[in-house]
Amino acid sequence: MSVQSAAIILADGTVFEGESFGAAPTTGITTGEFVFNTVLSGYQEVISDPSYAGQIITFTAPHIGNYGVNSTDNESEKPQCEGIVVREMSRRASNWRAESDLVSYLELHGIAGIGGIDTRRLTRHLRDNGALPGAFGTASESALREAALAATGTEGTDLVARVTTPHAYSVAATSSASRTIVALDLGIKTTILRNLSQYGSIEVVPASTSAEQILSLSPDGVFISNGPGDPAAVADVPDTLRELLGKVPLFGICMGHQMLATALGGTTYKLPFGHHGGNHPVRDLTTNKVEITSQNHNYCVDVDSLAHVEVTHRNLNDSTVEGFECAELSAFAVQHHPEAGPGPHDSRYLFERFAELMDRSAS
């Protein structure tokens, strides 16, 4: 693994020194919004999650890359994040499932990385000051500083348009279930499709698909996927969902949760440093059970803006809204990721809940 001296400079002027790895941008500079993720494993799934478009991922786990990568664990065809930051990149990949090493994977997909960073210090800085735009790379300090000042965050940017599928496609059911599910792709993860396919065949459609086009597919239910960026900047999807409400059961996850809330008249706001990790406690208020959940979002639904819905889940770290239901319109959503691959499986019952809702609506 060839490395060069490199540095991170955040928009507030804070500097971290390290070494480059992965792809080498021609300018020697990578920009984006710096966030941190607290998972202990699953770095490939994190990096390939389309919800990280526009962001640079700081891994809080000190040793990344030790078990390599494989084609099965990709959450999308290619990573959409801007880059990654680690304390130490493993120089060997040792696992029976490994098909390649992480550095080669990053090089293949054009993703830059920086290692040797005091990620504890960087994480504390982001925790105290919020997610920050910035730059990293092998360019001169003055060039990096200029790029950091010019870098933008995710606010006001429609990143869904960047990651959604350009064409509709089908996913076959993996069981005998005869349901038809339309999945509105805002940046959908492969693991979500694996879970949904247990309950029927899936027609995955672009984010720009109209309600009329969706209903023409005769769905038993419509799923609204996860995705990146500022939900307030995604203009058309809430309008589409308003036309679908009451006509077909709806289930949203993460960005889908925010889009469904917006369609119901709610608003969203940006969290200081977001929720990114596989260890967030959430209480299901309908059962009073506490679930350990996987999360990846920078924005949150304002509970005071939601009317005529029942809040069903709460984050136990900061009491933010993690789920809601509008029973009269056969719609519900959660902010966390019940598919959680890899990660906790505590919330996978939500897919079964969606199947039951579709069956009740069909009867």
Residues labelled as active-site residues? 254, 337, 339
In our burial notation (b when 16+ CB lie closer than 10 A, e otherwise), range 309-344 reads: beebbbbeeeebbbbbbbeebbbbbbbbbbbbbbbb
- End-to-end Cα distance, the chain: 59
Judge whether 187 and 261 are in contact, CB under 8 Å. Answer: no
Radius of gyration of the chain (CA): 20
Identify the CA nearest to 357 among candidates 220, 155, 241.
Answer: 220
Please tell me what DSSP assigns to residue 134.
Answer: E
Contact of 39 with 278, CB cutoff 8 Å: yes
Reference 250, options 166, 340, 183; nearest CA is: 183
Among 271, 267, 269, residue whose Cα is nearest residue 307: 267
